[in-house]
């Protein structure tokens, strides 16, 4: 990773981890934060980035992306995925393991890390819970942890076997690494292509009921109660889940959770308008669920925001609703959606929104970064809070264009991205 030097001057620096929100300069030297203070002078030969009128935040971390390499390079590669991340203001991503082969051994995890080395942004691989993501036998979690896994997940597929999940949580507790399972009871959802509700009934397609998510989460919360293993619930999508998590946290269980950008913006009505372009798992839910996501964020029940960036080819997404694959891209719309629908809409104040993209995921996955204290990673996301822009998928850096947000007018954008003191993306003059 870059170990460059840079002075970011004149911005409004917001660092939730140290409760800073003030006009301060940020000096990065040899890839690390050296100083935060007023009126810093650039040391000799250190370039200056003028951030007047802009917000300087710790580097954003998208803790849930699919980079598709190896195995599905026609959808995305490490290079195009990292370029999309940088253009979206993300300095680091945690990559889900549904590649081919998946990182389900120490050797494969080492290969995944080697492949990602030198990427434009930091890439933290997540290891499998089960061998081959097949749900039949536990992957060697200790070996995966030693090789560098930041979490364990079979994302895309649940761990149906309760005994396996219990052992995984016991190991997660010993290793200090969270389990981040895909929570879905397949017996309730198989064949479904959208949320089960009035819209699915009207369209005459098979739905995926909220209970498909909530029942599996209830099971795993019970296993956390038994084992004390850390559970990070990814892509929660129903009002019922928010209540389950609220109660688990009140009971002191080691549980955290994530919401995706589209789940606090769109409802299942979008499937009626856009078909497969709005198909993902978990699906877009009803209006009350979207409201529950916003309330859960505001009340702190929901810890982090992520994208579940899931690139698919145009051909795949042009198939009929029932045949098209689940998932949408998200890296290049995430910051704009967060600012437009949470900050400008008055759901979260700016520091709280930044926290959910920086310090919170760093804390949960024990990643370096996520803050701007001296000695920390020299990663920063530079934001123009009021920049108005229109989502144009044809200009995405991602190899894929499958977004339901084409044509959306958003307010607020990441305009420069700094990783290890190096400017990896900039719209500034
Ligand atoms: Zn995912």
Q: How far is CA 267 from CA 156, 187, 197, 198, 240, in A?
A: 21, 24, 11, 12, 16
Mean pLDDT of 147-156: 97
Give the CATH number for residue 270.
3.20.20.140
The tens digit of pLDDT for each residue in 102-136 reads 999 999 999 999 999 999 999 999 999 999 999 99
The C-alpha atoms of residue 346 and residue 339 are separated, in whole angstroms, by 10
Tell me which residue of 124, 67, 49, 68 sits closest to 91, measured CA to CA: 124
429 pLDDT band, cuts 50/70/90, is confident
Tokens read off for 278 = 């709005």
Cα 184 to averaged position of ligand 1 atoms, centre (Å): 12
Coil/strand/helix, residue 311: coil
Residue 321, number of CB atoms within 10 A of its CB: 16
Spacing, Cα 277 to ligand 1 middle (Å): 16
Nearest to 96 by CA among 69, 134, 135: 69
d(CA 34, CA 38): 13
How far away, in angstroms, is 155 Cα from ligand 1 center? 5
- C-alpha distances (whole Å) from 189 to each of 274, 314, 395 are 21, 25, 35
Domain that holds residue 176: 59-369
**Sheet hosting strand 25-29, strand order edge to edge:** 32-37, 25-29, 6-9, 48-50
Strands 90-95 and 60-65: parallel
Res. 1: pLDDT tops 70 = no
CA of 96 to the centre of ligand 1 (A): 7
Residue 399 lies in a domain: no
How remote is the CA of residue 118 from the centroid of ligand 1, in Å? Answer: 24
pLDDT (tens digit per residue) in 10-31: 999 999 999 999 999 999 999 9
> How far, in Å, CA of 241 to CA of 309, rounded?
22
Asked if 278 and 404 touch (Cβ cutoff 8 Å), the reply is yes
Catalytic residues: 308
Task: Report if residue 69 sits inside a domain.
Answer: yes
Measuring CA to CA, which residue among 352, 376, 417, 386 is closest to residue 92? 417
Question: Where residue 2 falls among pLDDT bands split at 50, 70, 90?
Answer: confident
**What is the pairing mode between strands 380-390 and 409-419?**
antiparallel
Q: What is the Cα–Cα distance from 34 to 8, expressed in whole angstroms?
A: 12
Alpha helices in 101-185, H assignment, sequence order: 106-116, 141-147, 162-175
Pairing of strands 380-390, 55-58: antiparallel
**For residue 282, cis peptide bond before it (omega within 30 degrees of 0):** yes
Q: Do the domain assignments include residue 387? A: no
Q: What's the distance, Cα to Cα, between the start and end of the chain in Å?
A: 25
pLDDT digits (tens, 9 = 90+) for 326-353: 999 999 999 999 999 999 999 999 999 9
CA 37 to chain centre: 30
Q: Are 96 and 371 in contact (CB under 8 A)?
A: no
Task: Look at residue 405 and tell me if it is in a domain.
Answer: no
Q: Residue 273: how many CA atoms within 13 Å on its side-chain side? A: 11
Token readout for 293 is 């996501």
**Overall domain count for the chain:** 1
Ligand 1 centroid distance, CA of 62 (Å): 11
* Distance between CA atoms of residues 106 and 194, nearest Å: 36
CA torsion angle 390 394 395 398 (round to 10): 120
Give the 3-state secondary structure of residue 269. helix
| Ligand 1 centre distance from Cα of residue 69 (Å) | 14
Ligand 1 centroid – CA 227 distance (Å): 25
Condensed to tens digits (0 to 9), the pLDDT of residues 43-84 reads 999 999 999 999 999 999 999 999 999 999 999 999 999 999
């Amino acid at each position: 990773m870059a170990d460059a030097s840079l002075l970011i001057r004149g911005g409004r620096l917001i660092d939730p981890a140290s409760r800073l929100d003030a006009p301060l300069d940020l000096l990065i030297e040899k890839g690390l934060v050296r100083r935060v203070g007023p009126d810093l002078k650039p040391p000799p030969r250190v370039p200056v980035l003028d951030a007047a009128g802009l917000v300087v935040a710790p580097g954003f971390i998208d803790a849930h992306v699919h980079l598709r390499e190896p195995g599905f390079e026609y959808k995305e590669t490490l290079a195009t995925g990292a370029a999309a991340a940088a253009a979206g203001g993300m300095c680091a991503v945690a990559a889900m393991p549904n590649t081919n082969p998946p990182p389900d051994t120490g050797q494969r995890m080492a290969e995944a890390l080697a492949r990602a080395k030198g990427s434009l942004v930091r890439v933290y691989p997540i290891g499998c819970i089960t061998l081959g993501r097949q749900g039949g036998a536990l992957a060697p979690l200790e070996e995966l942890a030693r090789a560098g896994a930041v979490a364990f997940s079979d994302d895309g597929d649940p761990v149906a076997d309760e005994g396996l999940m219990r052992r995984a949580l016991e190991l997660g507790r010993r290793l200090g690494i969270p389990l981040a399972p895909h929570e879905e009871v397949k017996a309730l959802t198989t064949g479904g292509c959208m949320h089960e509700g009035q819209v699915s009934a009207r369209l005459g397609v098979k739905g995926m009921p909220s209970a498909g998510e909530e029942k599996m989460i209830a099971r795993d919360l019970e296993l956390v109660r038994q084992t004390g293993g850390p559970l990070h619930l990814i892509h929660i999508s129903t009002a019922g889940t928010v209540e389950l998590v609220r109660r688990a946290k009140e009971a002191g269980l080691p549980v955290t959770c994530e919401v995706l950008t589209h789940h606090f913006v769109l409802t299942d009505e979008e499937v009626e308008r856009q078909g497969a372009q709005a198909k993902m798992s978990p699906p877009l839910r009803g209006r009350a669920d979207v409201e529950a996501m916003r309330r859960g964020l505001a009340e702190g029940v929901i810890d982090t925001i992520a994208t579940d960036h899931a690139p698919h080819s145009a051909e795949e997404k042009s198939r009929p609703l029932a045949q098209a694959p689940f998932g949408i891209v998200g890296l290049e719309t995430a910051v704009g959606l967060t600012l437009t629908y949470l900050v400008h809409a008055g759901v979260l104040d700016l520091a709280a929104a930044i926290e959910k993209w920086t310090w919170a995921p760093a804390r949960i996955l024990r990643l370096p970064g996520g803050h701007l204290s001296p000695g920390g990673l020299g990663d920063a996301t530079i934001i123009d809070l009021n920049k108005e822009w229109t989502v144009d998928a044809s200009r995405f850096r991602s190899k894929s264009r499958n977004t339901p947000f084409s044509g959306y007018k958003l307010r607020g954008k990441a305009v420069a991205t700094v990783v290890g003191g190096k400017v990896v993306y900039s719209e500034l003059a």
